[in-house]
Copies of this chain bind each other. A is one copy, B any other.
Amino acid sequence: MIRVGIIGLGTVGTGTYRILTENHSLIKSKTGLNIKVEKIADIDKNKAKEIGLKEGLFTTDAYEIVNDKKIDIVVELIGGTTIAYDLITESIKNKKGIITANKYLLALKGKEIFDLAQKHGSPIGFEASVCGGIPVIRAIKEGLVANRITSIMGILNGTSNYIMTKMTEEAKPFSEALKDAQRLGFAEQDPSFDVEGIDAAHKLCILIGLAFGCHINLDDIAIKGITRIEPVDIELAREFGYKIKLLALARQEGNELEARVEPAMIPIKHPMSSVNDVFNAVYILGDRVGPNMFYGRGAGSEPTGSAVVSDIVDIAKQIVSQGKKTPTPGLRFNNKIKMKDSDTAYVPFYLRFTAQDRPGVLSKISGILARYMISISTVIQKGRKENGYVPIVMLTHEAVEGDIKKAMEEIDRLPFIRGESIQIRIEEGLG
């Protein structure tokens, strides 16, 4: 029998408990493993009652689990980066198998945690930390192990993908789509982690550790959120044959790694563009296998619980086999890769200005772009006039991102331009 302790009885903890209880005999028939929930900890006593937990199975002291000699596997589901860190490192020292869904912690202190686990020979499962129910960690680590990964693109945040989908399908402005998401429980009251790309960047950090074997800091990722996208951008994207998605991207070229999270236009025909609503997907290019895409629910009680339980089974198998402990090679940090300056990226761009509707405006804007060697492929003026201002939209040929930024700053200082202009990368090169 394998004894599991769960710390944190929130959304994912509850889902994990449900699955282990309700699918207990199914899992046993598939794997031969008898997995028992030995103890559950939460600071809120009422949680135990809510899920009908048996007396004696519950504690408010997480260390009762960490220090329980009978417990084989500790599942950390409280989130945050302080107490969770202590609980995990103590559990590692106690030679337990560890499972965590804590992407923030792994992005921040993954290196320390995996180094310590290596030292003590403890396996760590973190399938639930990226893309909830999609077994993408396992896919990169095992399924694609034969490949040098050259690039990863992810739709990693369900909240912002839901918002982008509503904006696309119902032509709603950002603020309204956000309210819908909040009403349905898909967005927090303070949605900034999700809509500003921070949550996706945490997950990208983890994927980079796995796929490229290197340690990067959050600061190494160029991050831009979706708050400034307007329905007109989405509509024009569609007319040009694109969809706008909050895209997490990591791409190795030579010894340089590009890492960014930002809204990007991807071709409508690309399989990633059919990833809608709260769904997540990761698109990976391997040198041998070509493209692989993994799609599913990136959050939610039981989808994420499904990932936690897959890790429990994995570690339980290792324990039962009584082999020499081989800590699952997790995040690797042996590769020294240089971060690429995001301003050197060379892709086509979509630019939108809000300008006074009068002669000479276009010539002035295109003059500045020309000075930065930015060549324009399409110009259109579309949408209604508002107080004498109209949106002007341009698609450029490949241009250096730093030049685009400088040109845009200069253009935004022109007297007949209102507010801050918009630039969105076009990602054709998705393999």
Contacts and interface: CB of A to CB of B under 8 A. Distances in A.
A366 B334 CA distance: 70
Given A142-B138, A306-B286, A326 B332 contact: no
A421 to B, nearest CB: 32
Contact of A288 (B144, B305, B321): B305
Nearest to A143: B135
A297 interface: yes
Contacts of A296: 289-293
A189 to B, nearest CB: 26
- SS class, residues of chain A in contact with chain B: mixed
A123 to B, nearest CB: 11
A294 B321 CA distance: 30
Interface string A21-57: 0010011011110000000000000000000000000
Nearest to A135: B143
A184 B68 CA distance: 62
A147, A289, A320, A324 pick with most chain B CB within 10 angstroms = A289
Contacts of A29: 213, 332, 334
A362 interface: no
A399 to B, nearest CB: 29
A309 interface: yes
Contact of A145 (B30, B270, B303, B322): B30
A309 B275 CA distance: 30
A146 B309 contact: yes
Interface string A113-154: 000000000000001000001110011001111111000000
Contact of A31 (B274, B310, B329): B329
B288 A306 contact: yes
A359 interface: no
Nearest to A320: B326
A383 B92 CA distance: 70
Given A142-B314, A313-B145, A314-B142, A303 B326 contact: no
Contacts of A148: 23, 26
A291 B314 CA distance: 22
A234 B324 CA distance: 57
| Copies of the protein in its oligomer | 2
A367 interface: no
B310 A142 contact: yes
A147 B23 contact: yes
Contact of A32 (B15, B307, B310, B329): B329
Contacts of A145: 27, 30-31, 309-310, 313
Nearest to A146: B309
Given A274-B274, A294-B294, A324-B322, A313 B32 contact: no
A317 interface: yes
A193 B148 CA distance: 33
Contact of A269 (B143, B270, B274, B334): B274
Contact of A23 (B26, B146, B273, B329): B146
Contacts of A287: 23
A289 B321 CA distance: 27
A291 B286 contact: no
A142 B23 CA distance: 15
A19 interface: yes
Contacts of A142: 135, 138, 310, 313-314
Contacts of A104: none
A274 B283 CA distance: 14
Given A310-B145, A323-B322, A295 B297 contact: no
A270, A290, A305 pick with most chain B CB within 10 angstroms = A290
A317 B326 contact: yes
Contacts of A321: 318, 321, 323-326
A134 B26 CA distance: 25
B144 A306 contact: yes
B31 A146 contact: no
7 contacts: A23-B148, A29-B334, A134-B292, A135-B292, A291-B295, A291-B296, A293-B295
